[in-house]
Amino acid sequence: MELSSIQNQHSTNSPSSSSTSSSTPHPTSVHDHDHDPMQSWWESVSKARSRILALSSILSTNQNEIPSSSFSLSSLADSDRPALSLLSSPEAYLLICSSLSSPSSGSGSDSLCQWLYETYISSDPNLRLIVLSFLPLLSSIYLSRLHSGETSSIPSLAGFEAVILAIYSAEAKSRAGKALLVQIPDLSQPSLYHSPRNRPSKEDNKSRTQRPSVGVLSAPLEPQIAVKSTKRAAILGTAFDCYYKQISHMPAFSKLQFCKFAAAWAGQDCHCKNKLDFDGENVDELEIDDFTENFDKLAIEKVGDELKGVRIPVPWEFLQPVLRILGHCLLGPLNSQDVKDAAAVAVRRLYARASHDLVPQAIVGTRSLIQLDKRERAAAKANAAAAAAAAAVAANASSNANTPNKAKKPEILLVSK
């Protein structure tokens, strides 16, 4: 698909489209889906299988790059849940990442970008998860090529932008022109757990009720037909918001990639990142291994080298959803230790970047995450020490119980006659 056809499809599926026939489902199909869940399930499975087979044909030339020669991408289409099988497959993830990382990727004629675009606008929730899982790598390659300084050798990035715009437009349509609001508690009012010494007067109550208790988390989204330089941070931030909403379904290797790229977005490494680690622990020296050993052969390492030393603009509208994702990766109880360590490094480097840029919101956000991480690590260390002590006590008690006691000599009583 050429760039013009991608843009035409994007404008047709955008919220500002004047056509209503594509957005209004046929009454018969709605009736069938509501009363026949088996038919709806089968249609979803069939759609996922067809998308996987199409992807297999696109990446057939890259099959030799997968570490395991016995892996077949088309075999995932035969499972009962093909979309989720593709989402959770490390081999398929490596294969797609290798194709996305090629020097010629991202153009308007890139067949893989076309597949990602068409898969996301299919509106199938499981298929959308697959596209979102590649957002960290796609956005990182996109930003690294934009800010590499070698504008003469940069290929067309229309394919990457089409995928990002598809995610943005779907989110703008779901919000329906409304802002995201958050309830802000009024700290001047007493809480539920104590009563004030002096009862407030009627005038105080009246002034308190007039205070706004709602804050704007995100302004209403405007329809966009292109990724302009002035709107790029907002569009990417909105795409990261969509990633954050589904982060509980994202595989660990996608989260690990996001953390590594977030650390690279902070720019050149600086000793300021360990400023808050007063206990002398250098968190940057934590061992951050990949999800599998196959990641060592992945082209993601080359992308990381491209990002080193490249200063990526990180305005607040871009950094805010990034910190939300890092907060989940840092504190999520079900995340692996590799993901938590990678998030710890990223947060500290972004704190150093915010300290140099003098961005108050970013300083407060990253500082809070660092403090929470320190508490979590201290608690985990204390729990591990307590568990080790309990295990040692139990081992000693068990060894004492299993040790045979020496037979006591019979006592001889001397009785005088």
Q: pLDDT by residue (tens digit) across 246-270?
A: 999 999 999 999 999 999 888 766 6
Task: Please indicate, yes or no, whether the overall pTM of this predicted structure exceeds 0.85.
Answer: no
Is pLDDT larger for residue 184 or for residue 131?
131
Cβ contact 106:141 at 8 Å = yes
What is d(CA 183, CA 162) in angstroms, rounded to the nearest whole number? 34
- Helix %, strand %, coil % of the chain (to 5): 65, 0, 35
| Residue 381 · residue 283 · CB < 8 Å | no
What is the predicted pLDDT for the residue at 346?
A: 92
Q: What is the mean pLDDT of the chain?
A: 77
Residue with the two structure tokens 């491209």: 306
Place of tokens 């990457």: 160
Does residue 414 come out as left (phi exceeding 0), alpha (psi in the -120 to 50 range) or beta? beta
- Please count the other Cβ atoms lying within 10 Å of the Cβ belonging to residue 23: 11
Q: What pLDDT is attached to residue 24?
A: 38
Residue 17 banded pLDDT, cuts 50, 70, 90: very low
CA torsion, ordered 140, 141, 147, 149, to nearest 10 deg: 150
Ramachandran bin of 180, using left for φ above 0, alpha for ψ from -120 to 50, beta for the remaining angles? beta
Contact status, residue 66 vs residue 95, Cβ threshold 8 Å = yes
From first CA to last CA, the distance across the chain in angstroms is 119
For residue 167, is pLDDT > 70?
A: yes
With tokens 């969509």, the residue in question is 242
Q: What span, in angstroms and rounded, lies between the C-alpha atoms of 212 and 5? A: 47
Separation CA 99–CA 363 (nearest Å): 37
Residue 21 dihedral angles phi and psi, to the nearest 5°:
-70, -35
Instruction: Give me the amino acid identity at 363.
Output: I
Give ∠ CA 323-220-223 in degrees, rounded to 5.
105
What mean pLDDT do residues 44-49 have?
89
Among the listed residues 209, 233, 121, 227, the one whose alpha carbon sits nearest the alpha carbon of residue 173: 121
